[in-house]
Amino acid sequence: MAVGRAVDRETLLALYRTMVRIRTFEETAHKEFLKGEMPGFLHLYSGEEAIAVGVMSVLEPDDYLSTHHRGHGHLIAKGGDTKRMFAELLGKADGFCKGKGGSMHIADISLGVLGANGIVGACVHIATGAAFACQYQKNGKIAVAFLGDASTNRGTFHEALNLASIWELPVVYVVENNHYGVANPQSEHMRIKDIADRAAGYGFPGVVVDGNDVIAVREAAAEAVDRARGGGGPTLMECKTWRHWGHFIGDAATYRDPVEHEAWLKRDPLILCAEALRSREWATEEDLEKIQAEADVEMVAALEFAKKSPYPSKDELLTDVYVD
Ligand SMILES: Cc1ncc(C[n+]2csc(CCOP(=O)(O)OP(=O)(O)O)c2C)c(N)n1
Ligand SMILES: [Mg+2]
C-alpha cells in the first residue's frame, strides 16, 4: 500500500480501509478457530492495527519486513492476499507457504515479508541481517522489524541493536508495546516505563508514539524511514497499544484490570481513525459502513476460497523444507 506522505482525504480513507480489513480478517479467523476448524494457535492483532498500517503506508513495496507471532496485520498491510492467508491458516496448498507455515510462519518474499516467527525476538535479527544486505548491495531498500514489548528483553535484541548502530544500518525497530508478555505486565518484566529509552544505550533515536493513532504512527514512521534510507541509521519506535483479546485465542486475559481494558477499548484505533475522518468531514456514516461491508464481503469470499483449497499432497511433505 503506497500512499503519499500528506494525510489528505484519500490517504486517511486508505489507512482506515486497511485497518478495517485487518480487523475483519482477525475476527473472521477468531470465529473459525472457535469452531475448531483451524489448527495451531492464533495470536490476534485486533487493537494494534494502526501500527502495521501507519508504518507500511510510508514503506516502498520492495522494502523488507519481519514480524513475530502476532503477524497477520503486517502481511495484510504490506499487500498480502487474504485468500492465500486464510488458506495458510487452514494448512492448505494455496497458502503463502503451501500450508506448511501456518499463522506464525507466514512469509511472502515477493512482498518483502521475510516471515512471521514463532521464536520471540527472532524478527529483530532477521530484519537487521536484511538491512545489512541492503546496505552491502546498495539497493536503496530498508528493513523494518515488528516486535513485542517482552521481546526487547532478549539478549539478541541488544546485540542486534548494537550492530545496527555501529554499522548505521537502514533499519527501523517497531516495538508494539501492548503492555504484556503473555500474562506478565510490563512492570514485572522490565524496570523502565518507556522502551524507547533502550535506544539511548546504542546511540540512536528512540521515540514514543501513540500506537492507536494511525496518523501519529505514520508521521513517526516517515521520519524513521527517511533516516534509514538516507544513511542515518536505525530508529526505535515504541508504539503504545493494547490487544483486544488474550495472548492467544483461549486466553481469557483475566490478569488484566477490566477498568484499564475498557479505557483502552475506547481508544480503539478504528474508532480514533473514524473520528478523524468524521471531524474533517472526509467521510459520512455511509462511507464508513460501506468500507466495513466491503471488508465483510472480502473475508467471506477469502475464507470460502481457503476452505475449497486442497491440502498439500503427501509427496510435498519435504518440498521447501531443506536446502541442498
Ligand atoms: C524465544 C522464545 N521464548 C519464549 C517464547 C514463548 N512466548 C511466545 S509469545 C511470548 C510473549 C511475547 O510477548 P511480546 O513480545 O510482548 O509480544 P505480544 O505477544 O505481547 O505481542 C512468549 C514468552 C517463544 N515463543 N520464544
Ligand atoms: Mg506484548
Minimum-distance ligand 1 atom for the alpha carbon of 48: 21
pLDDT at 6: 77
Name the band, by pLDDT with cuts 50, 70 and 90, for residue 43: very high
Kindly give the distance from the C-alpha atom of residue 44 to the centroid of ligand 2, in angstroms, as a whole number.
12
| Better-scored residue on pLDDT, 3 or 283 | 283
Minimum-distance ligand 1 atom for the alpha carbon of 70: 21
pLDDT at 260: 98
Kindly give the distance from the C-alpha atom of residue 137 to the centroid of ligand 2, in angstroms, as a whole number.
34
Q: How far apart are CA 271 and CA 292, in angstroms?
A: 13
Residue 2 has pLDDT above 60, yes or no: no
Mean pLDDT (whole number) for 65-72: 98
List residues, by chain if needed, whose CB lies under 5 Å from ion ligand 2: 148-149, 178, 180
Q: How far apart are CA 177 and CA 50, in angstroms?
A: 13
Kindly give the distance from the C-alpha atom of residue 150 to the centroid of ligand 1, in angstroms, as a whole number.
7
Minimum-distance ligand 1 atom for the alpha carbon of 152: 15
The pTM for the full model equals 0.97
pLDDT in tens, 300-316: 999 999 999 999 999 99
Single out the residue of 97, 91, 98, 40 nearest to residue 69, CA to CA.
40
On average, the pLDDT of the chain sits at: 96
Domains in the chain (CATH in brackets) are 9-309 (3.40.50.970)
Yes or no: say if 69 and 150 are a contact pair by the CB < 8 Å rule: no
Residue nearest to atom 11 of ligand 1 (CA): 181
Mean pLDDT (whole number) for 206-217: 98
Name the band, by pLDDT with cuts 50, 70 and 90, for residue 20: very high
Minimum-distance ligand 1 atom for the alpha carbon of 147: 15
Mean pLDDT (whole number) for 109-120: 97
Kindly give the distance from the C-alpha atom of residue 176 to the centroid of ligand 2, in angstroms, as a whole number.
7
Minimum-distance ligand 1 atom for the alpha carbon of 181: 13
Ligand 1 binding site (Cβ under 6 Å of any ligand atom): 69-70, 118-120, 148-151, 178, 180-182, 247
Residue nearest to atom 13 of ligand 1 (CA): 181
Please report which ligand is nearest the Cα atom of 67. Answer: 1
DSSP 5: S
pLDDT at 317: 87
Q: What are phi and psi of 238, to 5 degrees?
A: -100, 110
Q: Is 164 helix (H, G, I), strand (E, B) or coil?
A: helix
Kindly give the distance from the C-alpha atom of residue 181 to the centroid of ligand 1, in angstroms, as a whole number.
6
Mutate which of 120, 125, 177 for ligand 1? The one with the most ligand atoms within 8 Å of its CB, which is 120
pLDDT in tens, 273-291: 999 999 999 999 999 999 9
Please report which ligand is nearest the Cα atom of 152. Answer: 1
H runs (alpha helix) in 49-182: 49-56, 72-77, 82-89, 122-137, 155-166
